[in-house]
Amino acid sequence: MFKLVFKKIIPVILSVCLVIGVTYKFTTRTYAEVTQDDIDAIKERQSELEKLDSELDAEIETARSDISKQKDLCVALEKKIDNQQSEIDSVLQAIDILNDEISEKEAAIADVQNEIDSDTERLRQRIKSLYLAGDTTTLEIILGAKDFDDLLDKSYVIKQMGEADAKIVDDLNSNMESIREEKEIIESDKDELLTQKAKLETKMAELNELQSEYNTVLSGLEDYKSELEAQKSANASEKKSLVNELNEAEAELAAQYAAQQNSDNGSNYTSYIDPYAYVSSGSGYCWPAPQCSIITAYWGDDRGHKGIDLACAGSAYGLPIVAAQSGTVTIANGSDSWGQGWGYYIKIDHGNGYSTLYAHCSQVVVSPGQSVERGELIGYIGNTGNSYGAHLHFECWYGDIRYDPLTELA
């Protein structure tokens, strides 16, 4: 019997822990409305939802496959049920035919019995007439013969009458026995068909029960798939809300940073430095996003961030990206929106093993092999790849090693 074990449904709602209340102490003010931890928590939840969506997609695809297989089983079972019903119908037709034959034999037996009864009655009446005519014996018939020829004639008649009576009765009884034997054969065939019919009906009951089970499994699979799709829809709604929350949080953090810069005329924020990072190239990189002075994610945060994220007060989408230093464009991906998670991105070789990478662009305006100058426009900020909210992800490389961009930026 087909058996399917449903997997546990992935929870739709996972807890999102936003760390509130961490304060930055400045010379004149303390800000507690939005922190970098809040933004990181939102991004972490977005990452969780992306992973959950991937799992849901796999579950939905498996459910679709299981539903298709189960439907095939149901169709095959329906064919078996139809064939079984056809066999039952054929047996019922054969039984009807035998019933008709049995009825014919019973009618024939009745007819023969009527003949026997009729001939017996005639014989009885004749014997009665002879009796009423007197006690005529065979000797009287012989003595009453006129001559020898008359005697022979009378003896022959008597003999023929006896033989004829006996033959009539014998023939009728023989015919009766033959009909009864035929009837018994027909009834035996009918009994066999009734036994076959009972077996077919038992099999039909089993198939109908199996069909009910198949339909229950199919219904369960379809319900499961609907639940998975509902989860994915709920995730989509949550992701949309998180994008709005992230934009609002980044805008609030930007406003806090601006207020801090005005009051403190400096930065009390500490970047996390990779202990294996290379020292500055001393080339004096310029700020790669001229209109976005807010760092929303630092190097080496809890995610092991391998760059810094730059945004600004309000939406950063479509704002310019410039080359941090002169060099040659080695990668200019403006067609693959995923781009290994970087989305549309650009990489520039600055010589001596140093290079920079600019990720999540909305548009790339340079080409591989193109020479660019420090501060030259190379693209526009976007939200492609593994990104949640428009920003520039900026990386610094030495050979195959990435290091903290804040050691380079002027």
pLDDT digits (tens, 9 = 90+) for 158-184: 555 556 666 666 777 777 787 788 778
Estimate the crossing angle of helix 148-264 against helix 36-133, to 10 degrees: 170
Phi-psi sector, 132: left (phi>0), alpha (psi -120 to 50), beta: alpha
Mean pLDDT value of segment 199-206: 84
pLDDT band (50, 70, 90) for residue 62: very high
- Which residues are CB-contacts of 103 (< 8 A; sequence separation ≥ 6)? none
Give the span between the Cα atoms of 350 and 325, in whole angstroms: 7
Give the span between the Cα atoms of 333 and 45, in whole angstroms: 27
Residue 370 burial by Cβ neighbours in a 10 Å radius (0-12, 13-18, 19+): middle
* Residue 28 pLDDT > 60: no
Q: Which pLDDT belongs to residue 263? A: 57
> Which stretches does DSSP call E strand in 28-140?
30-31
The residue ranges of every structural domain in the chain are 80-202, 294-407
Mean pLDDT computed over every residue of the chain = 76
Q: Which pLDDT belongs to residue 260? A: 58
The string of pLDDT tens digits covering residues 184-194 is: 888 888 788 88
* Residue 150 pLDDT > 50: yes
pLDDT band (50, 70, 90) for residue 271: very low
Name which of 241, 243, 259, 245 is nearest 32 in CA terms. 259
Region 294-407: CATH code: 2.70.70.10
Name which of 318, 306, 317 is nearest 393 in CA terms. 306
- Which residues are CB-contacts of 347 (< 8 A; sequence separation ≥ 6)? 329, 330, 331, 355, 356, 357, 358, 397
Give the span between the Cα atoms of 125 and 333, in whole angstroms: 124
Q: What is the DSSP letter of 276?
A: T
Mean pLDDT value of segment 206-221: 87
Name which of 48, 47, 41, 49 is nearest 20 in CA terms. 41
Q: What is the DSSP letter of 396?
A: E
Name which of 268, 269, 284, 257 is nearest 396 in CA terms. 284
Give the span between the Cα atoms of 90 and 200, in whole angstroms: 11
pLDDT band (50, 70, 90) for residue 12: very low
Task: Please state, in angstroms and as integers, the Cα–Cα distance from residue 1 to each residue in 4, 199, 217, 247, following that order.
Answer: 10, 20, 12, 54
The string of pLDDT tens digits covering residues 361-385 is: 999 999 999 999 999 999 999 999 9
Please indicate whether residue 234 or residue 200 has the higher confidence score (pLDDT): 234
* Residue 318 pLDDT > 50: yes
Give the span between the Cα atoms of 292 and 13, in whole angstroms: 34
